[in-house]
Amino acid sequence: MVAIDGPAGSGKSTVGAEVARRLGALYFDTGVVYRTLALVASEQGIPPDDAGRLAQLAETLSLRVGPPSIDDGRLYDVWLDGRDVTWVIRSSEIDRLASLVSAHPPVRQALLRLQRELARNGRVVMAGRDIGTVVMPDAPVKIWLHASLEERARRRQRDLAKRGIVQSLDELIAELAERDRRDATRAVAPMRPADDAIIIDTDNRTIEQVVEAVLAIVRERCECAEHGADSHSVASVTTPQN
Ligand code: DC
């Protein structure tokens, strides 16, 4: 089990999917669950502050995540009742709504079971905000991906541009900062690195360098487990520059 947490735009999805591919593991991006819930709620007219109805909806939410069926830059397909919502859940409105709906404790509780069931499926790389702290607190490998706000906004701008969406850097910085603030200050399962997470600074590093750094940690931790060493030590590493 590899837990990868970090703020929006820190590279969790890209890195997580590639790490999973190389380990022959299942990759699961938990943000997809909150995003899909936000989409269904907004389509059904459920306001983002209605914790009770959102939790009910979360109990019955049925989505399917699978390998990419179209070569359009997606890492995976997200299906909701036979509808391909892969890109629909990536709008800036859903960015905002997903962060709002995910702050309600009963919503998180309802979605926790689903995420833990996935974690029991053997080899899994799971990405989110609270994977190392709440969803898989026993994961032998916990990674926190760090990136500066400006760098994350630049990445988001590039991703949007690929889909023909133009948004100013200032606007993106403001949106990301607001989302970070909300995700990190909510009462339940706030976004934060687990005490035993290894922090990787991804600024000025390529995806390949970050992937390699994560894989090196996986190899090292596996060895530690074999030799009975303490796998919960606090460590901080940076990836090689070249
Ligand atoms: O990772 P993402 O940007 O797709 O996540 C969208 C929102 O979902 C994020 O702003 C907060 C919420 N989220 C969460 O609360 N816990 C997770 N494990 C993953 C996402």
Report pLDDT digits (tens) over 51-63: 999 999 999 998 8
Report pLDDT digits (tens) over 101-158: 999 999 999 999 888 887 777 789 999 999 999 999 999 999 999 999 999 999 999 9
Share of the chain above pLDDT 90, in %: 81
Across 18-57, b (16+ Cβ under 10 Å) vs e yields bbbeebebebbbbbbbbbbbbbbbeeeebebeeeeebbeb
Please report the pLDDT score of residue 233 as a whole number.
23
Residue 102, ligand 1, Cβ within 6 A: yes
Residue 179, ligand 1, Cβ within 6 A: yes
- Whether residue 71 is predicted with pLDDT greater than 90 in this model: the reply is yes
Please report the pLDDT score of residue 96 as a whole number.
96
Report the relative pairing of strands 141-146 and 124-128 from DSSP bridges. unpaired
Q: What is d(CA 132, CA 129) in angstroms, rounded to the nearest whole number? A: 8
Q: Which atom of ligand 1 is nearest to the CA of 135?
A: 18
**How much is the average pLDDT of 76-105?**
95
For residue 7, the CA-to-ligand 1 centroid distance in Å is 8
- Whether residue 242 is predicted with pLDDT greater than 70 in this model: the reply is no
**How much is the average pLDDT of 26-39?**
95
**How much is the average pLDDT of 75-95?**
94
Please report the pLDDT score of residue 122 as a whole number.
76
Residue 14, ligand 1, Cβ within 6 A: no
Where are the domains positioned within the chain?
Answer: 2-234
**How much is the average pLDDT of 179-198?**
96
Q: For residue 142, give the amino acid letter.
A: K
Into which CATH architecture does domain 2-234 fall?
Answer: 3-Layer(aba) Sandwich (3.40)
**How much is the average pLDDT of 147-173?**
95
Token duo for residue 201? 């600074």
Q: What is d(CA 56, CA 187) in angstroms, rounded to the nearest whole number? A: 20
**Could you tell me the pTM of the whole model?**
0.89
Residue 35, ligand 1, Cβ within 6 A: yes
Instruction: Write a three-state SS string for 37-77.
Output: HHHHHHHCCCCCCCHHHHHHHHHHCCEEEECCCCCCCCCCE
Please report the pLDDT score of residue 97 as a whole number.
98
Residue 183, ligand 1, Cβ within 6 A: yes
Token duo for residue 136? 């898989």
Please report the pLDDT score of residue 67 as a whole number.
86
Please report the pLDDT score of residue 227 as a whole number.
41
Q: Which atom of ligand 1 is nearest to the CA of 32?
A: 4
